[in-house]
Amino acid sequence: MNQLEEAEGLFRSCLPDVLTEGSEPVFAEPWQALVFAMTINLYDRGLFSWSEWTDVFARILARRASYGEDHGGRFYYEDWLTALETVVSKQTDIQPAILSDLKDRWERAYRATPHGEKVTL
């Protein structure tokens, strides 16, 4: 088993039942699949260890649970993205404020772009 297969297996084992169909992850939105793929890619490139990733992700999930928010899958990939941003910020010079600003700029750009046209900053 290679690292990617191992990472995929670990990922599948931590998914709530509501997010799986058989043994395969179900993505409700294309961005969810992209966030998953980026995480696996960055892990495979050695940016972070899988234990580091799961520690950060577990803390984020626990924080949401402590707030009493529904976690039946509704916020799963938002939490996944937050964990990825956290790990990337810790391992690079990219600070959370920079990521937040960039996300805001992209959001404004895609909201201002007519359907079917290329989104640019």
**pLDDT tens track for 43-81:** 999 999 999 999 999 999 888 877 776 555 678 889 999
**118 Cα distance to chain centroid:** 24
Q: Is the pLDDT reported for residue 97 higher than 70?
A: yes
Q: Is the pLDDT reported for residue 28 higher than 70?
A: yes
pLDDT at position 73: 67
Work out the number of other CB atoms within 10 angstroms of the CB of residue 43.
22
Most confident of 6-15, 61-70, 89-98: 89-98
Q: Nearest 10 degrees: CA dihedral of 6, 9, 10, 16?
A: 170
Would strands 20-21 and 24-25 be described as parallel, antiparallel, or unpaired?
A: antiparallel
Average pLDDT along the chain: 81
Give residue 21's domain range: 3-93
Residue 89 lies in a domain: yes
Residue 103 lies in a domain: no
Q: What total number of domains does the chain contain?
A: 1
Q: Any idea what the Cα angle at residue 60 is, between residues 81 and 99, rounded to 5°?
A: 40
